[in-house]
């Protein structure tokens, strides 16, 4: 029995979704468990974002488990396309890796956005050095995760050519 590239990609994305749901669940337990003890010490906006980030991660995981049909149809328009070579398998793996990178970047992106909102809403006399430091250290890596994730999801042809430079197209 041969399985099409589209089916294999969908299964891979669903596995990434399961891992993302588990990650979001762990984040929820860790974050929400600390909220009662930090009540009154954190601004309401920070507390709201602390609740929303794990929910956002859970939602991304649920989407990957149940909603990837249209995405896989776009990435593999030919429903019957089969993996005929190691290069095809590598390309499929690059797409799955791209989704892993995109999902990994989501919580950091939400925290960066939260820090920007906090800075904008806070008084100019407040010391926001912790938020600025977080944005400074995380922004470039988060953007790179998004860029590489999107590139790999679209096929990552440079990496395919690097990995298979000895074979002819």
Consecutive sets of 10 residues in the chain, 169 residues long: mean pLDDT of each? Answer: 81 92 86 65 67 87 90 81 82 91 88 79 75 85 94 91 77
Q: Note the pLDDT of residue 21.
A: 93
Looking at the domain assignment, is residue 169 inside a domain?
no
**Within a domain: 123:** yes
Q: Is there a domain that residue 110 lies in?
A: yes
Q: What is the b/e burial string over 78-111, where b = at least 16 CB atoms within 10 angstroms of the residue's CB? A: eeeeebeeeeeeebbbbbbbbbbbbbbbbbbbbb
Return the pLDDT at 134: 80
In terms of residue numbers, what domain contains 129?
A: 5-163
Q: Quote the pLDDT of residue 152.
A: 94
Residue 107 lies in a domain: yes
pLDDT reported for residue 169: 47
Report the number of distinct structural domains present in the chain.
1
Residues 6+ apart with CB under 8 A from 96: 9, 12, 13, 15, 16
């Amino acid at each position: 029995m041969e399985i099409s590239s589209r089916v294999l990609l969908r299964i891979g994305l669903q596995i990434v979704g399961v891992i993302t749901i588990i990650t979001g669940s762990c984040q929820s337990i860790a974050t929400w468990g600390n909220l009662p003890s930090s009540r009154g010490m954190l601004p309401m906006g920070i507390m709201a974002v602390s609740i929303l980030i794990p929910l956002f991660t859970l939602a991304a995981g649920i989407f990957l488990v149940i909603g990837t049909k249209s995405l896989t149809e776009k990435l593999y328009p030919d429903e019957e396309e089969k993996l005929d070579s190691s290069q095809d398998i590598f390309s499929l793996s690059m797409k799955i890796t791209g989704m892993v990178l995109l999902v990994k970047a989501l919580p950091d992106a939400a925290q960066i956005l939260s820090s920007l909102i906090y800075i904008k809403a806070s008084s100019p006399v407040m010391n926001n050095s912790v938020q600025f430091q977080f944005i400074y250290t995380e922004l470039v890596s988060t953007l790179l995760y998004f860029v590489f994730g999107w590139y790999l999801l679209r096929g990552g042809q440079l990496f395919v050519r690097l990995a298979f430079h000895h074979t002819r197209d």
